[in-house]
Chain A
Amino acid sequence: MPRRSLLIGVVLAVIALVLLRNGLSPYSLSVWSLALVGGGLGMSLSLLVTYAGLPSLAQAAFYGTGGYAVGILAAKHGQDNLWIGLLLAALVSGLLALVLGLVSLRTRGIYFQIITLSFTAMIWGLAVKWRSLTGGDDGLVGIYPPSMAPFNGHLVTPQGVFTFSAVALILICLVVRMVRNSAFGHVLVGIRDSESRMAALGYRTTAYRLGAFVLSGMLAAIPGALLTYQLQFVSPAQLNFVVSIQALLMVVIGAGTLFGPALAGVGVIWLQEILQRHTDHWLLVLGAIYIAVAMVNPPALVQRLRTQWAERRTAEPAREPDLEVVR
């Protein structure tokens, strides 16, 4: 993603943001805000799935933990500063990611996926059981719009929430891009392509994957915390492992591109909203979409397009490369 086209991309995003902000009704602004938060969830998982090759289903655990961190702080301890909330949410989720990563990163592929799914279910169970802290399955009420301390006022108007969510998503995209292009990012992609070769070169591969896991956990906490501030409420539904599956759908539709998961995230949340408006059988249609996406497998499709495109670019026709799938 060359620097120049990225700059244009960001500028276009900002213009679109300003237009939407003033043009839309409060209701569609609120759905947009939820969609932008969904995009953040997708981006945080793409760091793991696309670049580190870790098919993790634990994203809901970090997304929900971020939400609960700010929720508990606001409802139980009256801490309503937005920046402190986001910071603490990221730290708590990062810690949880460290613990889960240490245990689950000893396994690979389908095993790793099943274990991360089990952990998400465990964290959900914890939220339902620990009624004194989390309010159990009725969730936590009494979370008022946070103050933006250095800036005056509170994050309360639909326009304000929309703008903040959009800026947060843009920043998350830039962070993922920065990590992808950094030395750390390249090592991660190297480990994804061939862990044994990178180990033979001297890289402690599990440590790098743990680093990616913790970073992705911290990134997922930001949209999680924003969701809680938007809803002024947090409940175990935010920790449900179905959210991990939804995040995975966003990444797979994003097809391994850099900002694909963000757009896919916004699209998936809006899709569910529109489907529910038009049919009672929205779950049936959603299920069909999941199956279709699984069969099309966009990452492999894009990979094939890239190799053909690369071949046309090079003068000498190379041999037919074996089809590579994002593992």
Chain B
Amino acid sequence: MKESTDRSAGPVLAADNISVRLGGIQILQHLSLQVERGERRAIVGPNGAGKTTMFNVLTGVLRPQEGHVALHGRDVTRWGVSRRATCGMARTFQITNLMHTMTVEENVVLALAASRPAVRRDLFRPLRSSSLDRPAAELLDRWGLGDRRHLPVHALSYGERRELELVLAVAAEPDVLLLDEPAAGLSPSETARVCDLVERLPRETSIVLIEHDLDMALALSDTVTVMSEGSIRGTGSADDPAISALVEEVYVGAVDQEDADVAG
């Protein structure tokens, strides 16, 4: 089962004094961020604000030059992606990233098997007869993909693939789910469907999402962190006027600032 981690009251995911320098450019300067249990956090900011880099530090793809990342209070800075996943962290990818030659059901079975070492290391028993067929079918039915079960992934529509991404991420019942621009490249109706899916995630799962689409970000999250030029400018609840002013200043302000230069 998952590595034993205490479910104490502390923040589920905490990043402390994170600094990242890539190719000589200082991308993140001393960022700190706490996500409580069940909290829905959105990280917004214009292009180049460092959102994706921060996302990669949290998920373990990138190791920061300074600072620490903690999961349930345990320092996981040096842990790789797979080890963090066994400790209750899950993520989706901006560009759909699925096992395209396998069927939808096989993808989900693999996701479920990830948290059951006995199954996934079994060299002799065929996967099909393992005990995971029923839970996989239930999960797919719950998320509306039940009828596409036996289709290979490459036969799914783009929207359906985005949904499968989400299903794979929640298969292991993670404590914290990181969403990488879930609405990227979706039509309004598909975006609505994904929002609805995120809404239906269990309440105790904390969510951190980075998103360009402000409306979607604000709709899905209860607290918002505004980033620009590699640092956090402020954090607050979605409907707090100070935050919306800050958001406007960071997004729109950037435009005025250029006009100012031109005029000046």
- A–B contact at 8 Å CB threshold (below): yes
- Interchain CB contact (< 8 A) of A186 among B106, B115, B171: B106
- Inter-subunit contact B99/A190 (CB<8 Å): yes
- Inter-subunit contact B81/A199 (CB<8 Å): yes
- Inter-subunit contact A197/B97 (CB<8 Å): yes
Say yes or no for B126: interface residue by CB 8 A criterion: yes
- Inter-subunit contact B155/A184 (CB<8 Å): no
| Chain A residues positioned under 8 Å from B76 (CB to CB) | none
Say yes or no for A137: interface residue by CB 8 A criterion: no
Count of chain A residues with Cβ under 8 Å from any Cβ of B?
Answer: 33
**Assuming A178-B124, A196-B93, A202-B85, is B157 touching A318 (CB within 8 A)?**
yes
What CA separation (Å) do A187 and B117 show in the bound complex? 12
Shortest beta-carbon distance from B166 to chain A in Å: 13
Q: Mark B100-121, 1 if CB is under 8 A from A, else 0.
A: 1110001101110111000111
Closest to A177 in B: B126
- Interchain CB contact (< 8 A) of A324 among B85, B97, B101, B113: B101
Shortest beta-carbon distance from B62 to chain A in Å: 13
Say yes or no for A182: interface residue by CB 8 A criterion: yes
**Assuming A184-B123, A203-B120, is B106 touching A193 (CB within 8 A)?**
no
- Inter-subunit contact A190/B102 (CB<8 Å): yes
- Inter-subunit contact A201/B85 (CB<8 Å): yes
What CA separation (Å) do A204 and B114 show in the bound complex? 10
The B-contacting residues of A in range 159-199, CB under 8 angstroms, are 178-179, 181-187, 189-190, 193-194, 196-199
**Interface SS of chain B: helix, strand, loop or mixed?**
mixed
| Chain B residues positioned under 8 Å from A196 (CB to CB) | 81, 93, 97
What CA separation (Å) do A194 and B111 show in the bound complex? 13
- Interchain CB contact (< 8 A) of B126 among A181, A193, A202, A307: A181
Say yes or no for B91: interface residue by CB 8 A criterion: yes
- Inter-subunit contact B82/A204 (CB<8 Å): yes
- Inter-subunit contact A194/B113 (CB<8 Å): no
| Chain A residues positioned under 8 Å from B97 (CB to CB) | 194, 196-197
- Inter-subunit contact A202/B172 (CB<8 Å): yes
What CA separation (Å) do A201 and B85 show in the bound complex? 6
- Inter-subunit contact B111/A179 (CB<8 Å): no
Say yes or no for B220: interface residue by CB 8 A criterion: no
- Inter-subunit contact A319/B157 (CB<8 Å): yes
| Chain B residues positioned under 8 Å from A303 (CB to CB) | 101
What CA separation (Å) do A193 and B91 show in the bound complex? 18
| Chain B residues positioned under 8 Å from A9 (CB to CB) | none
Closest to B124 in A: A182
Most chain A C-beta atoms within 10 Å of own C-beta, residue among B90, B101, B115, B122:
B101
Closest to A189 in B: B102
**Assuming A187-B110, A194-B98, is B123 touching A182 (CB within 8 A)?**
yes
- Interchain CB contact (< 8 A) of A181 among B81, B121, B127: B127
The A-contacting residues of B in range 134-161, CB under 8 angstroms, are 151-152, 154-158
**Interface SS of chain A: helix, strand, loop or mixed?**
helix
- Inter-subunit contact A197/B99 (CB<8 Å): yes
Say yes or no for B5: interface residue by CB 8 A criterion: no
Closest to B119 in A: A183
Shortest beta-carbon distance from A191 to chain B in Å: 9
Most chain A C-beta atoms within 10 Å of own C-beta, residue among B99, B123, B169:
B99
Q: Mark A51-67, 1 if CB is under 8 A from B, else 0.
A: 00000000000000000
- Inter-subunit contact A190/B110 (CB<8 Å): yes
- Inter-subunit contact B86/A202 (CB<8 Å): yes
**Assuming A187-B120, A197-B99, A200-B91, is B59 touching A310 (CB within 8 A)?**
no
- Interchain CB contact (< 8 A) of B85 among A182, A193, A200, A318: A200
Say yes or no for B183: interface residue by CB 8 A criterion: no
What CA separation (Å) do A17 and B222 show in the bound complex? 71
What CA separation (Å) do A185 and B109 show in the bound complex? 13
Say yes or no for A321: interface residue by CB 8 A criterion: yes
- Interchain CB contact (< 8 A) of B121 among A183, A190, A194, A200: A183
What CA separation (Å) do A69 and B98 show in the bound complex? 42
Say yes or no for A147: interface residue by CB 8 A criterion: no
What CA separation (Å) do A190 and B98 show in the bound complex? 8
A-B contact pairs, 28 of them (CB 8 A): A178-B123, A181-B126, A182-B123, A182-B126, A187-B110, A190-B102, A190-B110, A194-B97, A194-B100, A196-B81, A197-B93, A197-B98, A199-B85, A200-B59, A200-B82, A202-B85, A202-B86, A203-B120, A204-B83, A310-B152, A314-B151, A318-B151, A318-B154, A318-B156, A319-B157, A319-B158, A321-B154, A324-B154
Which residues on A are within 8 Å of B, measured CB to CB?
178-179, 181-187, 189-190, 193-194, 196-205, 303, 307, 310-311, 314, 318-319, 321-322, 324
- Kindly list the 7 A-B residue pairs having the minimum CB-CB distance in the complex, ordered from nearest: A202-B85, A321-B154, A193-B99, A318-B155, A202-B114, A201-B114, A199-B81
- Contacts A182-B122, A186-B127, A189-B101 aside, 9 further interface pairs with beta carbons under 8 A come to A186-B109, A187-B113, A194-B97, A199-B81, A199-B85, A200-B93, A202-B82, A202-B85, A318-B155
